[in-house]
A and B are shown apart, each in its own frame.
Chain A
Amino acid sequence: DSGVTQTPKHLITATGQRVTLRCSPRSGDLSVYWYQQSLDQGLQFLIQYYNGEERAKGNILERFSAQQFPDLHSELNLSSLELGDSALYFCASSSFTGTATEAFFGQGTRLTVV
């Protein structure tokens, strides 16, 4: 158990809909990262939050947004869903303080868009 909790584990929704994925980081970790894993794109970094502030942005679509709340949990919002958004979405957390530290990954949310 990595200590990172993601809910829900599975999500099936229709095209055009909006969903919210939730992540609770390990206790004490201030940094949260979101990644997308798909067959064609592999594992792609989407976005990072550190102590409530956006820290880095990767290949995140404009239809996607995220935030980190005062209790440090994070949510990834996906809107106007397309079939191609079907993927495994991972959250990771670390105690990143400026140098590389280990990122701990949750078990992921498998999103299926039909």
Chain B
Amino acid sequence: AQSVTQLDSQVPVFEEAPVELRCNYSSSVSVYLFWYVQYPNQGLQLLLKYLSGSTLVKGINGFEAEFNKSQTSFHLRKPSVHISDTAEYFCAVSPYNQGGKLIFGQGTELSVKP
């Protein structure tokens, strides 16, 4: 079985400050890792994904994430946030060879203040 824990339910930050959203996971099998963003009243949009290779993954809108296998973590970072980054962010895992289903964390609400 798999589980995903997003360590912060809410992260308030000022505009142009750096931010890190933390994600840990647990799995008995190998997994792929994803971050999705959900803007108000919209569906989920993929920010970035880790499948294999370099542990530092770059995504859209200036976000990046680092996969740490020993710590089973996949933290999301952005060096300088904008008001428009205000949204809910979901970390997810997808077990190998299980059809591509996603197991999501509870979400982190990022609130960027001017």
Interfacial residues, chain A to chain B (CB-CB below 8 A): 2, 4, 31, 33, 35, 42-45, 48, 50, 55-56, 58, 90, 92, 94, 96, 98-108
Chain B residues touching A, majority SS: loop
Bits for B30-57, please: 1 = Cβ < 8 Å to A, else 0.
Answer: 0010001000011111100101000000
Min distance, Cβ A76 to any Cβ of chain B, angstroms: 15
Neighbouring A residues of B41 by C-beta, 8 Å: 107
Interfacial residues, chain B to chain A (CB-CB below 8 A): 32, 36, 41-46, 49, 51, 90, 94, 96-107
Asked if residues A106 and B43 are in contact (CB atoms below 8 Å), the reply is: yes
Asked if residues B101 and A56 are in contact (CB atoms below 8 Å), the reply is: yes
Min distance, Cβ A62 to any Cβ of chain B, angstroms: 19
Neighbouring A residues of B104 by C-beta, 8 Å: 35, 42-44
Asked if residues A56 and B99 are in contact (CB atoms below 8 Å), the reply is: yes
Asked if residues B44 and A100 are in contact (CB atoms below 8 Å), the reply is: no
Which of A45, A104, A106 is close to B101, meaning CB atoms less than 8 Å apart?
A45
Asked if residues B101 and A98 are in contact (CB atoms below 8 Å), the reply is: no
Min distance, Cβ B89 to any Cβ of chain A, angstroms: 12
CA distance A31 to B99 in the complex (A): 9
CA distance A56 to B100 in the complex (A): 9
Q: List 14 A-B contacts (CB under 8 A).
A: A31-B100, A33-B100, A42-B107, A43-B90, A48-B99, A55-B99, A56-B101, A92-B44, A94-B100, A98-B97, A100-B96, A101-B100, A102-B46, A103-B100
